[in-house]
Structure 1
Amino acid sequence: MTDVAIGTTRRPVLDPLPERVLELIHDRGLRPGDPMPTELELIELLGVSRNSVREAVRSLRALGIVDVRHGHGTVVGDASLRVLSPSLTFRAVAGGADDLAGLRNLIEVRELIEVGVVGRLAGELDESTLDSLDALCAAMGETELDPETDREFHRVLYARVDNPLIGQLVDVFWDSYRTAHAVLSAPGDTEKAETVRLHTAIVDALRAGDSAAARDAMTAHFAEINHRLGSAEAAR
């Protein structure tokens, strides 16, 4: 078989095959959910073996660029940022149980994102969303502090942000942040009360439409997380 040029630019045979499949997706204007060319089409278009095509598709699937859906076959994926989660989780724990630097770095990036975004939500959330956040704050105070309740708070908080990448990033960093609960001491009654107070302060600032207060409250929330992380480091 001979190599077939795709698009307006001829590419050499030894180009990385996943890149060439990606170029084909772009050239055809395929959107998330659109059917991918069949395996036979890819073999003919790219001039490579069946195994090579399957390996390329497998690589793109790992990145979320290609998806396999029951009843629909192989389609263009949505390339969700959630594919970053395993790598970020590995970075958080790569130093071993005695090195929390990776986890601290993840928390710092998450703080930069959330503090930067929360001020934009002041005065923008409807009462139903604010009531849901109030209920999650109450749940934090009524039971043993559950990281999933905290996660749901942040998920609800950013569900109304126009940029879908923000919600995906927050979710990705939460998946990685779960490792924190294996190294941080379990919060006592004082820490639990402080967590509830800090989350309530975020909701109050948003309800009041006070962007600066919302950012300050979120910063204080992360300061408490970093304090607990510092205590864990000092105890090692």
Structure 2
Amino acid sequence: MPQARFSAQARLRALQTDIMDLILARELEAGDPLPTEHELAAVLGVGRNTLRESLKVLQALGVIEIRHGFGMFVAPRNFDALTDGLTFRGRLSLRHHGQEALQLVGVRQALEAGLIAGAMDLMTPEHLMAVEESVIRMEALAGAGENFVEADAQFHRRLFEPLNNELLVSLLDVFWQVYRRLYVELGGAAGIDLLAAAGLHRGIYDAVSTGDKVLAAHRLNSHFDAMRLRISQAVSP
């Protein structure tokens, strides 16, 4: 990369950091308006065109929200950019050696298997009923030969709701969406034994409901073996 181009990119990144620091220094929260472009340019000592380039990047990253005709605001929590970026990296890797796709599956696996014991400590009878409801729904759909994508997502979300950690649930959802898009890329439910897949979820629920943390973590780990195998087969020469 030419030195001038590299320097320009470095300056833009520095400006983006300055804008985020300004948001923090003024203690703005999600939904709060930002200063106008004119005010920001004056405070930060940059030209309007340079400022606009950085603002567009920050909007793409989900830091700010630009509402034409209304102004700029601190964006609400939004993980779309993270989801899209990770999905692209995973799909791209499927055209080569699949390493990043396997790593993404591994991150989701590590999160769920590592957190299940803590979630079980806080699991109430009501939580258990909700988790089993998702399992029953999966079993019914599998019995009818129908895919159960939404019930699957709901099952995993409900497993970790006892932790009462919205950020964690959002991150788990990011990795679930990435996982799901990779699953579709690899052919979706074609060749998948839906009843067996539903049975895996029933096994996880059974371990959770009996309070067996080790078995629950083991079964969650095993849950991802099929996806890892499909990725490896897809990228094999």
Q: 1:169 to 1:14 in 2, by over 3 A?
A: closer
1:216 correspondence with 2:218: yes
Whole-Å separation in 2 of the counterparts to 1:168 and 1:66: 19
* Aligned pairs (5 A) from 1:100-115: 100-115=98-113
Whole-Å separation in 1 of the counterparts to 2:62 and 2:12: 24
What amino acid does structure 1 have at the position aligned with 2:27?
Answer: G
- Aligned residues with identical type, % of pairs: 32
Query: 1:16 maps to which residue?
Result: 14
* Aligned pairs (5 A) from 1:119-158: 119-143=117-141, 144-158=146-160
Shift of 1:42: 0.8
Structure 1 residues 103-139: Cα deviation after superposition (integer angstroms, max 9, x where no partner): 2221111111111111211142233332222122122
Query: 2:116 maps to which residue?
Result: 118
Give the root-mean-square deviation of aligned CA atoms.
Answer: 2.9
* Aligned pairs (5 A) from 1:22-33: 22-33=20-31
CA contact (8 A) 1:82 1:171 kept: no
Please, which of 65, 79, 86 is the counterpart of residue 63 of structure 2?
Answer: 65
CA contact (8 A) 1:122 1:214 kept: no
Please, which of 164, 167, 172 is the counterpart of residue 165 of structure 1?
Answer: 167
Unaligned 5+ segments in structure 2 are: 1-10
Shift of 1:21: 0.9
Query: 1:196 maps to which residue?
Result: 198
Query: 1:8 maps to which residue?
Result: none
Q: 1:184 to 1:49 in 2, by over 3 A?
A: same
User: Between Structure 1 and Structure 2, how many residues are aligned?
Assistant: 222
1:83 correspondence with 2:81: yes
Whole-Å separation in 2 of the counterparts to 1:127 and 1:68: 44
Shift of 1:98: 6.4
Whole-Å separation in 1 of the counterparts to 2:161 and 2:79: 16
Q: 1:214 to 1:69 in 2, by over 3 A?
A: farther
Shift of 1:176: 1.7
Query: 1:9 maps to which residue?
Result: none
Q: Secondary structure at the match of 2:163?
A: coil
Larger helix proportion, structure 1 or 2?
A: 2
* Aligned pairs (5 A) from 1:88-99: 88-97=86-95, 99=97
Whole-Å separation in 1 of the counterparts to 2:126 and 2:153: 18
Query: 1:186 maps to which residue?
Result: 189
What amino acid does structure 2 have at the position aligned with 1:215?
Answer: A
Structure 1 residues 70-92: Cα deviation after superposition (integer angstroms, max 9, x where no partner): 99742222454442112211111
1:37 correspondence with 2:40: no
Query: 1:4 maps to which residue?
Result: none
CA contact (8 A) 1:184 1:229 kept: no
CA contact (8 A) 2:161 2:169 kept: yes
Q: 1:165 to 1:56 in 2, by over 3 A?
A: same
TM-score w.r.t. structure 2 length? Answer: 0.79
Whole-Å separation in 2 of the counterparts to 1:53 and 1:113: 38
Structure 1 residues 125-176: Cα deviation after superposition (integer angstroms, max 9, x where no partner): 2333322221221222222223332122212323343333322222222222
Whole-Å separation in 2 of the counterparts to 1:14 and 1:56: 6
What amino acid does structure 1 have at the position aligned with 2:30?
Answer: P
CA contact (8 A) 1:123 1:210 kept: no
Please, which of 39, 43, 47 is the counterpart of residue 49 of structure 1?
Answer: 47
Unaligned 5+ segments in structure 1 are: 1-12
